[in-house]
Structure 1
Amino acid sequence: MEEARDSWVEHLYSVLWAYRTTIQLSTGEIPFRLTYGCEAMIPVEVGEPSWRKLQAMQEQANDEAITAELDLVDEVQTTAHLRDLATKQLIMARYNRKVGLHSFKGNDLVLRRADIGNKNARDGKLAANWEGPFRIKEQLGKGAYTLESLDGKAIKRT
């Protein structure tokens, strides 16, 4: 892609096709199969006889195989969904192991999220996410605090 920086749009469909026909780690399945219920075939396989095409033609001759494949689609989707949930829980457990509970005492200096209160809308997404520093005036319990500015002025809605 280094050589094709200006023509990335032309390569987008190929990249999407590669993604949609590759087994995903979180589900253990191919997104194309989860969506359409069958394996994807590249155009070369459609025109030329291949082992996979011959297998598909033999299965189409047997109506029971088609019915079994359609019944299997729901099972494959359910299994993929359960694997995805298990992967998300594993990621969440790893993240939560690293995150620690922070408690603050009086007179500690802290930053406050900028979306609390009046964030200036004209700054857009490049606006600062944090404002402060502020001094903790009082600990109210369960992670709630009252704040004051460095000159001692009380901050509302904290």
Structure 2
Amino acid sequence: MSENYREWQEKIPFALWGYRTSIRTATSATPYYLVYGMEMVQPIELEVPSLRILLESQVPEADRVQARYDSLVMLDERRLMRDERRLNALQHVQLYQKRIERAFNKKVKPTGISEGDLVLKSVRALLPIDPRGKFKPNWAGPYLIKTILSGGVVRLTDLDGKDFTNPINLDQLKKFNP
């Protein structure tokens, strides 16, 4: 949005406005609607009146006061409706998460790793600066799988029988083929 990297802080309100007024896929509602229970009036609607604004502006003052009184009387019913909207949003989120999970699980490939297999461990640490730079190895090992715990957590030992102190996630391992 900004042409100069120094003016980003001036664009934050516009980005937040766009976020709060755009419909989320997961809830199929805007964040503003979920908080306040109504759609917000866009600033452009004040300059170029929409049908909603025109209808509200042509209501006499007595009718407006009566409508306000009725809305206060119906407060409990509106609270129930708000709770129902939140439940609907929660259901949308859960369905959306299931769709995302199914799409992700289609791409997951089983590793075929079991206890007693030799594996290589991914080298991701950047702290000990390696003089080889980008030519340093990406995999370390081989290591022996001691146990596989729930959730894809693995305990490793090296070939000398020394146990690793920290468990490793299964996605950081690949089968060693000598």
TM tier relative to shorter chain = 0.5 to 0.7
Instruction: Tell me if structure 2 keeps the 8 A contact 1:136–1:145.
Output: no
The residue number in structure 1 matching 2:120 is: 110
Pick one of 91, 102, 110 that aligns with 1:93.
Answer: 102
Structure 1 residue 38: Cα displacement: 1.7
Aligned pairs for 1:133-144 within 5 A: 133-137=140-144, 140=147, 144=154
Q: Deviations over 1:90-148 (max 9, x none)?
A: 1012112221221337673410687xxxx89xx4xxxxxxx851224466566756432
Distance, in Å, in 2 between the alignment partners of 1:141 and 1:84 is 32
Distance, in Å, in 1 between the alignment partners of 2:139 and 2:6 is 42
Distance, in Å, in 2 between the alignment partners of 1:56 and 1:38 is 14
The residue number in structure 2 matching 1:126 is: none
CA change 1:73–1:145 in 2 (3 A) is closer
Identity %: 22
The residue number in structure 2 matching 1:52 is: 52
Distance, in Å, in 1 between the alignment partners of 2:8 and 2:97 is 31
| Structure 1 residue 155 corresponds to structure 2 residue 162 | yes
Q: CA RMSD in A?
A: 3.5
Aligned pairs for 1:1-158 within 5 A: 1=1, 3-45=3-45, 50-56=50-56, 61-62=66-67, 63-64=69-70, 67=74, 69-104=78-113, 108-111=118-121, 123=127, 133-137=140-144, 140=147, 144=154, 146-148=156-158, 152-157=159-164
Kindly report structure 1 stretches of 4+ aligned residues shifted beyond 6 Å: none
Instruction: Tell me if structure 2 keeps the 8 A contact 1:147–1:154.
Output: yes
Unaligned runs of 5+ in 2: 128-137, 168-178
Unaligned runs of 5+ in 1: 124-130
Structure 1 residue 64: Cα displacement: 4.8
Instruction: Tell me if structure 1 keeps the 8 A contact 2:120–2:140.
Output: yes
Partner SS for 1:110: strand
CA change 1:75–1:145 in 2 (3 A) is closer
Q: Deviations over 1:13-38 (max 9, x none)?
A: 01111110111111110110101122
Instruction: Tell me if structure 1 keeps the 8 A contact 2:146–2:157.
Output: no
TM-score by length of 2: 0.60
TM-score by length of 1: 0.66
Partner AA of 1:8 in structure 2? W
